[in-house]
Chains A and B, each alone.
Chain A
Amino acid sequence: MTVITSGLRYLKEGVTPHMWCPGCGNGIVLNALLRAFEELAYKNEETVVATGIGCWGKADDYVVTNGFHGTHGRALAFATGMKAFNPRLNVVVLMGDGDCITIGGNHFIHAARRNIDVTAIVVNNFNFGMTGGQVSGTTPFGMFTSTTTYANPERDFDICALADVAGANYVARGTPWHGFELEENIKEALNKRGFSVVEVFSPCPTHYGKYNKMGTPVEMLKRIREMALPKEEYARLDPAQKEAYFPIGKLVDRDDPDFNARYDEVRSRAMKG
């Protein structure tokens, strides 16, 4: 019999209902993360959940581990200092698409290049939800937001592809529809030494869905499910078809030495003089 963990013991008492809108994916992602914590038996005192600013950036207030709520876009830089100084900490960074790749893009690519052993859980809802649904670095070309009334003239970032070429050891993508698969990917990411990224394509019915006439929260979630294909299946599509879909699951998995391992080598050389 499969025992399904609830993750409840990592959720702070008295914080529900949370502040996220009905239909938002954040609650499902947080649940997957807390279940992963439980299955990996993470200790509160050894774990830091670090956030930036945005809807997903509120999540640190809901967990019983150490919490850190930083400035917009800089969570990875703060986390780098924590992990670099104390490699025994489990440092998990929660960012939206604004934090991760719009204002914080420089820190994201350098965290991947540096291969710092932290896990980034990126909820990408294709717009700035907290501030009222403005365009972000992941809003696709031609889509509508509160600041792209005449359609977005810019292209979007592919966060997973960027993490891959920048050197992350582990990259996966999921959706709130695929909650159990998401939890598995988060567990793999937490277990991976080096920089790991799990991106979640998530619905924002309140803003992005409204501006793009995507219907009810359920319809929006179904739309995301229909667009999500396993990596192998996605790879078989011809380029024209690919625009209507995206790959989910584990996309990158390698074992390059992480920053702290490399820095220990520096220390050895320095100590030899």
Chain B
Amino acid sequence: MCLARPERKRYTCPVVKKTENTPTRLVQGNQAIAEGALYAGAGFYAGYPITPSSEIAEECSVVLPGIGGMYIQMEDEIASIAAVIGASLAGAKAFTATSGPGFSLMQENLGFAVMGEVPCVVIHVQRSGPSTGLATKPAQADVMQVRWGRHGDQTLIALCPATVRECFELTVQAFNLSEKYRTPVVLVSDEVVAHMRENLRVPEEGELAIIDRKEPSVPPSEYKPFQADEDGIAPLAAYGSHYVFHVSSSMHGPDGLSNNDPANAAWKIDQIHRKIDIHRDEIVMTRAFDTDDAEVLVVAFGITTRASRAAAAQARGAGIKAGVLQLQTLWPFPDKEIRCAAQGARRVIVPEMNYAGQAANEVRRVLGPDRDIRGVNSFNGQIIWPQDILKTIMA
């Protein structure tokens, strides 16, 4: 006899039902993220309150218990991501939300999720730093931390919304990618997108695809939790199912047991990277606005996308063909898409709310040293305005 899997309902967003007759509602970015998570099938939230992400926790604490799910407030962010990973291994679609200092605290166990190939979603609402910083003014200064914040050879997926609608849709995508590729996915928001309110039409059930993790089909005695199929992804059972398995932070073989053999270590590190590398075209999402004939290309992400689009429109009015490439996927970095959009551009501008030009440096890596690549940077807790970008377009 074995335990039945905890029932995983296809949760429909309860708010939708109440507003069947109103196609759209005025919704806050954080609220849209919570609703997107529920739409994707999230049944477990563990977190620790921190501004500007707390509305996500509050919404989950209200909705999840009413639909048989669970909200648990942990003692810190280290425990929050740990509980999320534990619940995911017990079969939940699980997530947490945090900001700046909390995201820093989550790094070690995010590394565990990479190593253990555990699906989970972390909503990271960026705020000013370092440390407590300008609490809690916006920033986009964690581009590199999101990618490299953990020690060791590791990688993950990061998505970045610019609108309330994208908060909803990219959260659904974050769960889908996490489940499909057995990897943590970070949804990198920022304080402005988080607290902004816009009209949102919540998709009907079935309108957006929902992906669940691949489960094993072999007999229990043959199951190896890290033995990848041809698509590079290993099926994942749940604790409490009829499969018995082992998940470890230590270097392990396909069976999940400790294995310090150099050839095995090389296999494992390759597997973590390969499953994302070979599927990068399915993972990388960008939106192009007037890039086909752009002589000036603005590469933007998050809230800065909106100022970039306004600036590009104004530049067009003034006779300069400007376009915007929005990076909805931040990691893996959209190298190919940037190269393509920048083909005919004499200048590339990367506006971002950080001092060092973290994304601009990536664009420089992609396009090479001979191109005219300029940053527009804000690092005082103030957003970047269209006129700031327009000046650099016209210069």
Residues of A within 8 A of B (CB): 43-46, 48, 53, 60-61, 64-71, 74, 77-86, 88-89, 106-107, 110, 263, 266-267, 269-271, 273
Would you call A85 and B70 a contact (CB within 8 A)? yes
Would you call A81 and B3 a contact (CB within 8 A)? no
* B247 located at the interface, meaning its Cβ lies under 8 Å from any Cβ of chain A in the complex: yes
CB < 8 Å A-B pair total: 148
> Whole-angstrom distance between the alpha carbons of A123 and B249 in the complex?
21
A81-B249 contact, Cβ under 8 Å, with A65-B244, A267-B66, A270-B65: no
A69-B248 contact, Cβ under 8 Å, with A84-B72, A107-B75, A110-B79: yes
Contact with A82, one of B75, B80, B89 (Cβ below 8 angstroms): B89
For the complex with contacts A70-B82, A78-B83, 20 further pairs of A-B residues with Cβ separation under 8 Å are: A45-B241, A46-B3, A48-B239, A61-B248, A66-B246, A68-B239, A71-B82, A77-B75, A78-B85, A78-B86, A81-B44, A81-B90, A82-B86, A83-B86, A85-B92, A106-B79, A107-B79, A266-B65, A267-B68, A269-B65
B372: min CB distance to chain A, Å: 45
- Kindly specify which of B154-162, B227-235, B250-258, B314-322 makes contact with the partner chain: B250-258
Of all chain B residues, which has the CB nearest A69? Answer: B248
> Whole-angstrom distance between the alpha carbons of A46 and B74 in the complex?
25
* B301 located at the interface, meaning its Cβ lies under 8 Å from any Cβ of chain A in the complex: no
Which chain A residues border B108 with CB–CB below 8 Å?
71
Which chain A residues border B112 with CB–CB below 8 Å?
70-71
Would you call A106 and B90 a contact (CB within 8 A)? no
Q: In chain B, residues 41-85, which have Cβ atoms closer than 8 Å to a Cβ of chain A? A: 43-44, 46, 62, 65-66, 68, 70, 72, 74-76, 78-80, 82-85
Which chain B residues border A53 with CB–CB below 8 Å?
249
> Whole-angstrom distance between the alpha carbons of A162 and B347 in the complex?
64
> Whole-angstrom distance between the alpha carbons of A88 and B90 in the complex?
10
Would you call B66 and A273 a contact (CB within 8 A)? yes
Which chain B residues border A78 with CB–CB below 8 Å?
82-83, 85-86
Which chain A residues border B6 with CB–CB below 8 Å?
85-86
Of all chain A residues, which has the CB nearest B85? Answer: A78
Contact with A74, one of B43, B44, B78 (Cβ below 8 angstroms): B78
Residue from the set B239, B244, B256 with the largest chain A CB neighbour count within 10 Å: B239
A84-B83 contact, Cβ under 8 Å, with A67-B248, A68-B89: yes
> Whole-angstrom distance between the alpha carbons of A266 and B62 in the complex?
10
Would you call B75 and A86 a contact (CB within 8 A)? no
Contact with A263, one of B2, B65, B240 (Cβ below 8 angstroms): B65
> Whole-angstrom distance between the alpha carbons of A74 and B107 in the complex?
13
B246: min CB distance to chain A, Å: 4
Would you call B87 and A60 a contact (CB within 8 A)? no
Of all chain B residues, which has the CB nearest A85? Answer: B87
Which chain A residues border B238 with CB–CB below 8 Å?
86
B65: min CB distance to chain A, Å: 4
Residue from the set A71, A77, A79 with the largest chain B CB neighbour count within 10 Å: A77
A43-B2 contact, Cβ under 8 Å, with A65-B244, A71-B112, A82-B239: yes
> Whole-angstrom distance between the alpha carbons of A106 and B76 in the complex?
9
* B385 located at the interface, meaning its Cβ lies under 8 Å from any Cβ of chain A in the complex: no
* B245 located at the interface, meaning its Cβ lies under 8 Å from any Cβ of chain A in the complex: yes
Would you call A263 and B70 a contact (CB within 8 A)? yes
Would you call B68 and A77 a contact (CB within 8 A)? no
Would you call A84 and B70 a contact (CB within 8 A)? yes
> Whole-angstrom distance between the alpha carbons of A65 and B239 in the complex?
10
Of all chain B residues, which has the CB nearest A49? Answer: B246
> Whole-angstrom distance between the alpha carbons of A53 and B108 in the complex?
13
Give the top 7 A-B pairs by smallest Cβ distance, nearest first: A81-B86, A81-B83, A77-B82, A77-B79, A270-B66, A67-B246, A270-B65
Which chain A residues border B302 with CB–CB below 8 Å?
none
Would you call A69 and B250 a contact (CB within 8 A)? yes
Which chain A residues border B245 with CB–CB below 8 Å?
66-67
Residue from the set A44, A67, A78, A269 with the largest chain B CB neighbour count within 10 Å: A78
> Whole-angstrom distance between the alpha carbons of A60 and B257 in the complex?
9
Would you call B247 and A69 a contact (CB within 8 A)? yes
Of all chain B residues, which has the CB nearest A62? Answer: B257
Q: B82-113: contact bitstring with A at CB < 8 Å (1 yes, 0 no)?
A: 11111111111010000000000000110010
Contact with B240, one of A69, A88, A273 (Cβ below 8 angstroms): A88
28 sample A-B contacts, Cβ–Cβ < 8 Å, listed by A number? A45-B3, A45-B242, A45-B243, A64-B244, A66-B246, A67-B245, A67-B246, A68-B247, A70-B112, A71-B249, A74-B78, A74-B79, A77-B80, A77-B82, A80-B72, A81-B82, A81-B86, A81-B89, A84-B70, A85-B44, A85-B70, A85-B86, A86-B91, A86-B239, A110-B75, A269-B65, A270-B65, A270-B66
> Whole-angstrom distance between the alpha carbons of A88 and B76 in the complex?
26
Would you call A267 and B74 a contact (CB within 8 A)? no
